[in-house]
Every structure is written in C-alpha cells, then in structure tokens.
C-alpha cells in the first residue's frame, strides 16, 4: 500500500524507471562500479546537492567506493529544468541572448548567453550520440537536400566567413530525418560520407533517393548503394529533381518541409565557431525535429513512426538526456 502511494506520488519518476528498466533489459546494461567495474553494488543513501536535489548514491561491495550515476547533469551548477528549458527555447527560435534574458526573469541566479550556447552544444552532442544508435524503420524514398551557410570563422571580423553546407536527408514516409551533417563543402567526398551514413542507418530499406540537380550525387549514390547483378539494376534509383528549390514549385510536401528547415536554421545564431560546434548545433536541431516537435502532417513526432523508442515524460529533452546517460 505504501509502495502504491509512493508510485502515485512520483508517477513520472516511476514511468522513467520502467522505461529505463525495460531498455536496460534489452541492451543488457547493468550498473557497474566506475572504479573496479564490479557489478556487486548496493544503494547507499542519498547525496544532497544544491541545485539538483537528492540523488541516489551507490556503494561498491568489492572496493567500497561510493558513487552516483551520471544522469547527464553531474557537476552542473544549474538545474536540469533550467538547462533543458534553455535548450528548448533555443530550438524554438530564441537566440542565446534571448534565452539568457528569459532566464534572468524567471530564475534567481543568472546564466550568461555563453553558458546557454555551451549547454546547447553539450546536450546536443550527448543526445544525438544516443539517438544515432536507434534502429530505424523507414519507407522506400529518402529526400536529400543541402543548404548553404556562411560560417564566421571567429568573432573577429577580419578572419572572414567560409561557405559550408548542411546536408540533410528525410524519409518521405515517417518524416524522420535520417541524416543531418554540417559539411565543409559539398564535394563528392562529403556527399559520399552523407550517403554512407544513410546506408548505415537504413540498411536496404531505401530504394529511391531524391536529390536536387547537384552533380556530385549521381555517381556517389551508385557507388555507395551498389549494383544488383541479379536484377540488373542499381540498388537505389536516383531521382534527380532539378527544380526542387524553385520557390512556389511545391510538388511534394517534403519540399515544403525542406524550405521550412532552411528558413528555421538560417535564423539560428551561433555559426561562428569551429565546424564541430556548428555541427553540434545542427545535431540538436535534428533531435528537436525528430523527437520534440510534433509534425502536423503525421500528427505525431517522426520518432514515433520510425523507431521503437517510447518517451513518456512531458520534458522530452530531460528524458532523452537521462536515457543517453543511463544507457551508455
Ligand atoms: Zn568497485
């Protein structure tokens, strides 16, 4: 009875525990001692933190070392709520300074816009490392598109800007963004890396690849997906759509979707550092697009159609961060 009350009280915690339990069963993850890797551990009271409340502490029965599990916020000086709220606001269109202004209004201790920027990068990398491992169930056609960006190499204007590309590929059936890469150029080598990634994630599911008229696609798609000798044709048909980018020429709803992505990411600040941080920001956008934002056309998030993952909490950023760490 008491247990029942506790469960009712902490329904969200309970649901998260169930999710983690069922997922650890699948992936055979066990809690190990970080010191000696032993599995013989016991609970050992709670650790009280200033910003993150009470956290379960464990003790290793082999080497007696005490430890806490890293839920993604280990040693962070701000609360998970404040951090996930900032990341969410950023991907909904606020600038890092806009988020900072919001935090100053609602949280007693202010955080700088640089902290916000660092959280976006840190947690985008963390979550996408986890979501990249999810098995995908997609339709037959993927659409690949590239968007040009001018990245400032540094805050110092004299270093100038560099032309880069964001190349994304979307499954037309589930709307899942299969691949999203920020590339230095759109040469054959870069396109090849993107195609290899799509192949790694979808196996033999994709049969048609629709792209714009850019030359590098044709041979790369043939090379990466290969030729089927038995059937006497290439494994993936390249549907080269030269007028995919013409304004007002929306033959396919996905083209409109690409235009939305283009408009949304263009206003995103922060493309003024290394390639790797620009890539991390767009990885976060991929997470937002696939897992957070409900899409009108399919009336749910793409991940619900394309993966077996079940997210049950309202704060999906937090749930994804916890899952990324506990299922490492
Ligand atoms: Zn140990």
Which range of residues forms the domain containing residue 156? 141-277
**Cα torsion angle, 197, 166, 142, 260, sign:** positive
Which of 47, 68, 89 is the C-terminal boundary of a domain?
68
The reply to whether 293 falls in a domain is no
CA 269 – ligand 1 centroid, Å: 45
d(CA 293, CA 231): 40
CA 210 – ligand 1 centroid, Å: 53
Residues 150 and 269 in one domain: yes
pLDDT for position 8: 42
CATH number at residue 151: 3.30.420
Angle CA(315)–CA(321)–CA(323) in degrees, nearest 5? Answer: 100
In what helix (H) or strand (E) does residue 164 lie, and over which residues does it extend? strand 161-171
CA 40 – ligand 1 centroid, Å: 8
The reply to whether 84 falls in a domain is no
Strand partners, 55: 47
The reply to whether 284 falls in a domain is no
CA 144 – ligand 1 centroid, Å: 48
CA 186 – ligand 1 centroid, Å: 49
DSSP secondary structure, 229-278, as one string: TTTTEESSEEEE-TTTT-TT--SSHHHHHHHHHHHHHHT----SS-HHHH
CA 60 – ligand 1 centroid, Å: 5
CA 75 – ligand 1 centroid, Å: 21
d(CA 84, CA 126): 13
CA 13 – ligand 1 centroid, Å: 27
Residues 61 and 166 in one domain: no
CA 20 – ligand 1 centroid, Å: 23
CA 59 – ligand 1 centroid, Å: 8
CB 217 within 8 A of CB 190: no
CA 69 – ligand 1 centroid, Å: 13
CA 30 – ligand 1 centroid, Å: 14
CA 309 – ligand 1 centroid, Å: 32
CA 243 – ligand 1 centroid, Å: 61
CA 45 – ligand 1 centroid, Å: 17
CA 48 – ligand 1 centroid, Å: 22
CA 66 – ligand 1 centroid, Å: 8
Residues 273 and 185 in one domain: yes
The reply to whether 172 falls in a domain is yes
Residues 52 and 161 in one domain: no
Least Cα distance to 200 among 135, 146, 144, 142 occurs for 135
Kindly list the strands in the beta sheet with 66-68, ordered across the sheet, starting from the edge strand earlier in the chain.
Answer: 41-49, 53-60, 66-68
CA 37 – ligand 1 centroid, Å: 6
The reply to whether 322 falls in a domain is no
Residues 163 and 270 in one domain: yes
CA 34 – ligand 1 centroid, Å: 7
Least Cα distance to 191 among 214, 210, 161 occurs for 214
CA 64 – ligand 1 centroid, Å: 6
Residues 273 and 146 in one domain: yes
Kindly give, in sequence order, each residue whose CB lies less than 8 Å from that of residue 8, ignoring residues fewer than 6 positions away: none
Residues 63 and 190 in one domain: no
Domain count, the chain: 2
CA 292 – ligand 1 centroid, Å: 38
Quick one: how far is CA 313 from the chain centroid? 17
The reply to whether 167 falls in a domain is yes
CB 312 within 8 A of CB 15: yes
pLDDT per residue rounded down to tens, the chain (328 residues): 344 444 444 554 544 555 554 444 444 457 888 889 888 989 999 988 877 778 889 999 999 999 988 888 888 888 999 999 999 999 998 888 999 999 999 988 878 999 999 999 999 999 999 999 999 999 999 999 888 888 877 666 666 778 888 898 999 999 999 998 888 888 889 999 999 999 999 999 999 998 888 888 989 999 999 988 888 889 999 988 765 455 444 456 667 777 777 777 776 655 667 888 888 988 999 999 999 999 888 899 999 999 999 999 999 999 999 999 887 6
d(CA 124, CA 290): 13
CA 266 – ligand 1 centroid, Å: 49
């Amino acid at each position: 009875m008491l247990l029942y009350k506790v469960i009712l009280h902490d329904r969200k915690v309970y649901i998260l525990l169930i999710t983690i339990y069922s997922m650890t069963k699948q992936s055979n993850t066990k809690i190990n001692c970080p010191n000696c890797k032993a599995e013989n551990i016991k609970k050992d009271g709670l650790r009280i933190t200033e910003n993150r409340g009470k956290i379960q502490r464990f003790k290793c029965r082999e080497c007696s070392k005490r430890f806490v599990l890293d839920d993604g916020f280990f040693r962070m000086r701000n609360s998970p709520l404040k951090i996930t709220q900032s990341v969410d606001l950023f991907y909904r269109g606020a600038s890092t300074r806009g988020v900072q202004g919001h935090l100053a209004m609602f949280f007693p201790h202010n955080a700088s816009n640089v902290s916000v920027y660092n959280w976006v990068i840190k947690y985008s990398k963390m979550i996408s490392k986890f979501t990249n491992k999810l098995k995908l169930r997609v339709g037959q056609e993927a659409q690949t598109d590239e968007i040009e960006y001018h990245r400032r190499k540094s805050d110092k204007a004299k270093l100038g800007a560099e032309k880069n590309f964001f190349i994304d590929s979307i499954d037309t059936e589930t709307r899942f963004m299969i691949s999203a890469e920020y590339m230095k150029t759109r040469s054959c080598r870069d396109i090849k890396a993107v195609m290899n990634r799509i192949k790694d994630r979808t196996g033999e599911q994709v049969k048609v690849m629709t792209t714009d008229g850019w030359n590098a696609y044709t041979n790369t798609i043939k090379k990466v997906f290969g030729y089927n000798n038995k059937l006497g044709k290439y494994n993936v048909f390249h549907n080269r759509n030269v007028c995919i980018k013409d304004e007002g020429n929306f033959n396919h709803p996905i083209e409109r979707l690409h235009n939305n992505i283009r408009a949304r990411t263009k206003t995103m600040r922060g493309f003024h550092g290394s390639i790797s941080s620009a890539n991390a920001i767009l990885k976060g956008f991929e997470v937002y697009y696939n897992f957070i934002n409900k899409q009108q056309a399919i009336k749910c998030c793409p991940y619900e159609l394309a993966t077996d993952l079940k997210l049950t909490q309202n704060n999906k950023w937090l749930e994804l961060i916890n899952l990324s760490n506990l299922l490492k």
